[in-house]
Structure 1
Amino acid sequence: MQRLLAFFAVSLVLSGAAVVSAQTAHNSAAPINFSADHIELQDKANRALLSGSVSVKQAEMTLNAARMTVAYTGQVVDGSPQVSRLDAAGNVVVTRPDQTARSNFAVYDLNKRVVTMLGAVTLIQAGNTVNGGRLTINLDTGRAVIDGSSVGGGGGGKAGTTTSSGGRVSGTFSVPKRN
């Protein structure tokens, strides 16, 4: 019950947004490890293009997508370029402890320590599901805000979930068994 309340210290406001909290702070200074089928380095543009089953891992967070653009500052510290932003597209999945989010697109701004997911967003935690158009996760506070703004249609449409339509947030809350 406490976990349900922590997850859904949800505040539904008139704008159709849900606020979710319960994650611990993310270590955005941790190294970023990646794998992909293909990489194209564009040094003059300070970016790398990754494609084909892209997987990026930083600390306890994993970001998977079909394609990803990695922007870096041009500065090299301890032999590694300083990554400032990741743009992901195609079947995007962000996994954190006890939390999985899916969408069509995502942007991870390392300087702001914020992940923004767009289009057919589904957030699952502790058996609860929330769907919307945009999800913003503050990695310092663990606060997630979902709103109904629509990019690419409604939620995942999987069994047991309710899809978002008309710019609204929707979902399913699990109810603990009672004796």
Structure 2
Amino acid sequence: MRTLFLFAAVMLAFSGSASAQQAHNSNAPINFGADHIELQDKANRAVLSGKVSVKQAEMTLNAARMTVSYTGQVVDGSPQVSRLDASGGVTVTRPDQTARSNFAVYDLNKRVVTMLGAVTLIQAGNTVNGGRLTINLDTGRAIIDGSSVGGGGAGTTTNSGGRVSGTFSVPKRN
């Protein structure tokens, strides 16, 4: 019963109401900046490194390194991106929501961001830590679990026993 209550509290804290959460525009162009880019045309990918910043509509993804996979099709002079794989101090920022992890995968076809390793999700004064976070960009729903995938390393925190932990803000009362 306690687990069900905590799960419900996490979902309420991070899902928001349907009217408050707008679907992410995954059809918006993707703008990027990096210190270095390596194009691997035969493999249909580009490797970005050094202070990588990718922005699509209201979402920004920052990391030390990112591999951009594309389909090989070009529309209006731009390759059609299908997936972004990020590593090294990954931060995903959306309106009213920030998530940090060691690794992230943005699947543009499924419109899902999956973050792994020492995950922290912050929204509206609430903080939840875990091992894996999945954000559905259509619904705005965020699910975090205690999987201990990819934890550790300098400057990171890990979960003991694969548990989800966090802090919920409490409204001020008179």
Bin of the TM-score, shorter chain as denominator length: 0.7 to 0.9
Which residue in the other structure is 1:21 paired with? Answer: 15
Amino acid in the other structure paired with 2:100: R
Mapping for residues 80-99 of structure 1, pairs under 5 Å:
80-99=78-97
User: 1:48 deviation in Å?
Assistant: 0.1
CA contact (8 A) 1:115 1:137 kept: yes
Aligned: 1:69 with 2:67: yes
SS in structure 2 opposite 1:151?
coil
Q: The residue matched to 2:129 in structure 1 has which SS?
A: strand
Match of 1:59 in 2: 57
Deviation at 1:151, TM superposition (A): 1.6
**Runs of 5+ unmatched residues, structure 2:** none
Q: Whole-Å Cα distance in 2 between the matches of residues 116 and 66 of structure 1?
A: 17
Alignment of 1:126 with 2:120, yes or no, is no
Q: Report the alpha carbon displacement of residue 165 of structure 1 after superposing the two structures with TM.
A: 1.9
1:178 has 2:167 as partner: no
- Equivalent pairs: percent with the same residue? 87
Which amino acid in structure 2 is aligned with residue 152 of structure 1?
Answer: G
Cα drift, residue 29 of structure 1:
0.1
Match of 2:42, SS state, is: helix
The one-letter amino acid of 1:119's match is: G
Q: Which amino acid aligns with 2:134?
A: T
Determine the structure 2 residue equivalent to 1:153. 151
**What is the deviation of 1:164?**
3.0
Aligned to 1:165: 160
**Cα deviation 1:76-125 (Å, max 9, x = unaligned):** 00100000000000000000000000000000000000000000000000
Secondary structure of 1:12's counterpart equals helix
Describe the SS at the equivalent of 1:28.
Answer: coil
Q: How many residues align?
A: 162
Give TM-score scaled by structure 1 length: 0.85
- Alignment match, 2:105: 107
Could you tell me the TM-score, scaled by structure 2's length? 0.88
Distance 1:175 1:144 in 2: 20
Match of 2:24, as an amino acid? H
- What whole-Å deviation, never above 9, does each CA across 1:119-176 have from its counterpart, x for those lacking one? 000000011100000000000010110000012337965xxxxx63211111000111
AA of the residue aligned to 1:65? A
One-letter amino acid matched to 1:165: S
